[in-house]
Chain A
């Protein structure tokens, strides 16, 4: 099976979807002729023409708002916001419109759109190229929120998202675009060609939305992670020697609660990890759910390892980013509690 980067897998997902369904339309800033600032749409305009893949004005509200209108017409737009940090001008359209359209019209109009956006830090992106705004979307009823962690899932999840009848926020950890990253910024990065999850099947396949996957089976503690943090968790488990069960959530909304609860009931301990800031982050929801559903099985308080409650800094990148050392300490504390 061919190995691909996450960029290639994402491009492949759009290519496959556009070939299968002429209603799939791809656009955004620099997405057309140039093929995207991260190359995720390279070649799509040449292959499908300017009416299927095109450049948009720099207006996130315009991009998402027009996509909602296209979806109401009957197309399936898969649009790009260049960085998740720049989604806020479109927030009204996403929250008030895309998420509510089916509900408020009782199904008279629906909104099968995908809003792709590169997310996360670890790249010296500073304040506006590093944010992880997923909690701003998981709080919105009517949305689905997806964060892939590897090329295989990225392709399968994106095809699922495009085919899904509801609006999907598709957050792509840009730190993982070219290879997995465990937080060891001082070591050389391995490319996806060296990783088995870089194996991406040709053609059409899907990874279902709403289903988590266990990346590392373990008995001592459950780690709930997604995106880049999956590899940070793997490194932390290896370095501490703790037999952690690492769950890659993949879809945050709707959440695969069954997989989480089964794991925590088995291990009796749980650590939640995300790059996003701590307070009211998605980890708070995860922690509350674990507490509600696994209270009598818990041997220790649910721990949260997250970005600090500050804007994402530039020079202090590695003091901010929740790396394997910080997560490792949380694992040890949770085991000792």
Chain B
């Protein structure tokens, strides 16, 4: 036993800081195909170890192996690859548009494309996502018009949110994408409430809650797990562990719990961990959790192990807090490259076709951008009316807002 003298204060630190050599030797990566696939009605107590492992399908050679493989056809996988490439291309163009002053702000998904793109394909029409600001793949994979996304980012005259929202805070009920809020974790418990409502209404639709590793420290995360557990709400509780919350490494939020998935265990919620850069694994686990929810078996917590390759946002410089080449050392690689290699290995894709697709996608994104910019950008061209500022605070405008609108002269 240690000497019970002076207490010492503990503050976790990441393994490496700028200037150091990236080191992920502490991240245990199980072999692809090594984690079993239980039935959806499994007794949660018997799969507690899954919260400490990582479900993976694609191996080093790009082969799909193990019990979680084999759910998707070639066409579905090719479509998935296209979605991820589209999101990446979209991100790059919008990041550049921010640098050009066409918008005030942007947040990329670089390295995390598989998580939202693959998850979306595991849902059914009518299901509702409660996303954070880093799940635009849910919209891309559901066919939401890219021009509309750009209109929102530009806050132009065609912005569906009338210029009221910060860029990327999309909203589309039609596409099962709940209105994004700047306040972290708030949507996590709302997703549970939506799921409770679906159960109360004897509906068949389910909800998906989204949160990042850092935001799991918010109290709404706890509230969501309690409510989901108590009422067996039909919800998939997603935690995207990209290792970083702005400059704060995931160990600050995780503390001594081992994994974020393990947080679910104390609530009696089956909790899985999955390779977030493995499109097939993400989809298979999402489908498992969605089926559980839809079968009235209750919530599932899923931790996606991934890495935030890009800066936190267009206002962030990660070289101030982590090694520049850290993403290259990330042991789970790049989700686009890994799916590409798998499709090549399956004989349905090639480097040439990939390069060609990349060029085509870029052209589509540029065409959409041109179309959006015809409606204006943040500081140029068409913009929402100042009258719109006063609308929608309430269903009906109360007298004091009418007076203020008059004072504003709009």
Does A pair with B? Answer: yes
Interface window among A54-62, A178-186, A198-206, A308-316: A54-62
Q: Is A103's CB under 8 angstroms from B392's CB? A: yes
Interface string of B189-201 (1 = CB under 8 A from A): 1111111111111
Whether A57 contacts B197 by the Cβ 8 Å rule is no
Identify which of B38-46, B111-119, B166-174 touches chain A: B166-174
- Once the chains bind, are A65 and B190 in contact (CB under 8 Å)? yes
Cα distance A103–B181 when bound, in Å?
A: 11
Q: Quick check: is A319 within 8 A (CB to CB) of the other chain?
A: no
Provide the residues of chain B in CB contact with A141, threshold 8 Å: 393
The residue among B186, B193, B207, B227 with the most chain A CB atoms within 10 A of its own CB is: B193
CB < 8 Å: which of B191, B226, B400 contacts A62?
A: B226
- Closest chain B residue, CB of each to CB of A99: B393
Query: Is B382 positioned at the interface, with any CB of A under 8 Å from its CB?
Result: no
A109 in complex: contacting residue of B178, B199, B224, CB < 8 Å: B178
Indicate the size class of the contact surface on chain B.
Answer: 35 or more
Contact B395 A102 (CB under 8 A): yes
State whether the Cβ of A45 lies closer than 8 Å to any Cβ in chain B. no
Q: Which residue of B lies closest to A289 (CB)?
A: B400
Q: Which residues of A contact B194 (CB under 8 A)?
A: 69-70, 72-73
**B230 neighbours in A (Cβ, 8 Å):** 57
Q: How far is the CA of A65 from the CA of B395 in the complex (A)?
A: 21
A56 to B183, CA, bound (A): 24
Closest to A251 in B: B398
Chain A min CB distance to B307 (Å): 29
A-B contact pairs, 29 of them (CB 8 A): A57-B226, A57-B230, A59-B227, A62-B223, A65-B186, A65-B193, A65-B223, A66-B196, A69-B193, A72-B128, A72-B193, A75-B200, A77-B193, A89-B219, A92-B183, A92-B220, A93-B186, A93-B220, A102-B392, A102-B393, A102-B394, A102-B395, A104-B171, A105-B161, A106-B171, A108-B179, A142-B394, A166-B394, A166-B395
* In the complex, residue of chain B having the shortest beta-carbon distance to the beta carbon of A112: B395
Convert B248-261 into 0s and 1s, putting 1 for each residue whose CB lies closer than 8 angstroms to a CB of A.
Answer: 00000000000000
CA distance A254 to B401 in the complex (A): 9
- CB pair B179–A92 under 8 Å, yes or no, is no
User: Which of A52, A66, A257 lies in contact with B190, CB distance below 8 A?
Assistant: A66
A2 interfacial contact with B, CB 8 Å: no
In the bound complex, do residue B395 and residue A69 qualify as a contact, i.e. CB atoms below 8 Å apart?
no
Q: Is B409 an interface residue when CB atoms closer than 8 A count as contact?
A: no
Question: Is B165 interfacial (CB 8 A cutoff)?
Answer: yes
Closest 6 CB pairs of A and B: A69-B193, A66-B193, A65-B189, A62-B223, A254-B398, A69-B190
How far apart sit A110 and B219, CA to CA, in the bound complex (Å)?
24
**Nearest chain B CB to A108 CB, angstrom units:** 5
A25/B398 contact (C-beta < 8 A), A57-B226, A59-B227, A61-B220 known: no
Known A61-B220, A65-B189, A75-B201; judge A104-B395 contact (CB<8 A): no
Contacts of A165 in B (CB 8 A): 394-395
| A6 interface hit (Cβ, 8 Å) | no
Kindly identify, within residues 186 to 241 of chain B, every residue whose CB is under 8 Å from any CB belonging to chain A.
186, 188-201, 207, 219-220, 222-224, 226-227, 230
Contact A92 B186 (CB under 8 A): yes
Do B193 and A105 have beta carbons less than 8 Å apart? no
- The one of A57, A77, A96, A102 in contact with B181, judged by C-beta atoms closer than 8 angstroms, is A96
| Residues of chain A contacted by B172 (CB below 8 angstroms) | 108
Asked if A241 lies at the interface with its beta carbon under 8 angstroms from chain B, I say no
Nearest CB in chain B: distance from A212 CB, A: 13
Cβ contacts under 8 Å, B347 to chain A:
none
A200 and B319 CA atoms in complex are apart in Å by 68
Give min CB distance, B346 to chain A, whole Å.
Answer: 40
Q: State the CA gap A69–B196 with chains docked (Å).
A: 9
| Chain A neighbourhood of B394, CB < 8 A | 102, 142, 144, 165-166, 254
Q: Mark A235-260, 1 if CB is under 8 A from B, else 0.
A: 00000000000000000001101100
A197 to B182, CA, bound (A): 45
When each residue 124-156 of chain A gets 1 if its CB lies under 8 Å from chain B and 0 otherwise, what string results? 000000000000000001101000000000000
A-chain residues with CB within 8 Å of residue B160 when the two chains form the complex:
106, 108
- Chain B residues lying within 8 Å of A62, measured Cβ to Cβ, are 189, 220, 223-224, 226-227
Q: Using Cβ atoms and an 8 Å threshold, which residues of chain B touch A103?
A: 164, 392-393
Contacts from A to B (Cβ < 8 Å) = 25, 51-52, 56-57, 59, 61-62, 65-70, 72-75, 77, 89, 92-93, 96-97, 100-110, 141-142, 144, 164-166, 210, 254-255, 257-258
Contacts of B287 in A (CB 8 A): none
Choose among B178, B198, B201, B227 the residue that contacts A66 (Cβ–Cβ < 8 A).
Answer: B227
Q: Are A70 and B179 within 8 A (Cβ)?
A: no
- CB of B145 within 8 Å of the partner chain: no
Contact, CB under 8 Å: A69 / B189:
yes
Question: Judging by beta carbons under 8 Å apart, are A108 and B171 in contact?
Answer: yes
Distance A67 CA – B231 CA, assembled complex (angstroms): 14
Beyond known contacts A65-B223, A101-B179, A108-B179: 18 more, CB 8 A cutoff: A25-B197, A57-B226, A57-B227, A61-B220, A66-B192, A72-B128, A73-B198, A96-B181, A96-B182, A97-B190, A102-B395, A104-B164, A105-B161, A106-B392, A109-B171, A164-B395, A254-B399, A258-B399
B400 A97 Cβ-Cβ under 8 A = no
Known: A106-B164, A106-B171, A257-B400. Is A73-B201 also a contact (CB below 8 A)?
A: yes
- Contacting residues, chain A, for B223 (C-beta < 8 A): 57, 59, 61-62, 65-66
Closest Cβ–Cβ distance, residue B231 to chain A (whole Å): 8
Which of A67, A73, A92, A144 has the most chain B CB atoms closer than 10 A to its own CB? A73
Q: Provide the residues of chain B in CB contact with A164, threshold 8 Å.
A: 395
Residues of B within 8 A of A66 (CB): 189-190, 192-193, 196, 223, 227
Q: How far is the CA of A284 from the CA of B323 in the complex (A)?
A: 54
CB–CB A106/B162 < 8 A: yes
Q: Which residues of B contact A52 (CB under 8 A)?
A: 200
Note all chain A residues with C-beta closer than 8 A to B224.
62, 65
Measured between alpha carbons, how far is A59 from B161 in the docked complex, in Å? 32
Whether B399 contacts A61 by the Cβ 8 Å rule is no
In the complex, which residues of chain B have a beta carbon less than 8 angstroms from the beta carbon of A254? 394, 398-400
Which residue of B is nearest A66, CB measured? B193
| B106 at the A interface (CB under 8 A) | no
Residues of A within 8 A of B90 (CB): none
Q: Is the CB of A97 within 8 A of B186?
A: yes
How many Å lie between the Cα of A107 and that of B164 in the bound state? Answer: 12
Give the distance in Å from the alpha carbon of A258 to the alpha carbon of B402 in the complex: 14
**Shortest Cβ distance from B46 into chain A, in angstroms?**
26
Q: Is B130 interfacial (CB 8 A cutoff)?
A: yes
Instruction: Give A11 Cβ to nearest chain B Cβ, in Å.
Output: 21
Tell me which residues across on chain A come within 8 A of B395, comparing CB atoms. 102, 110, 164-166
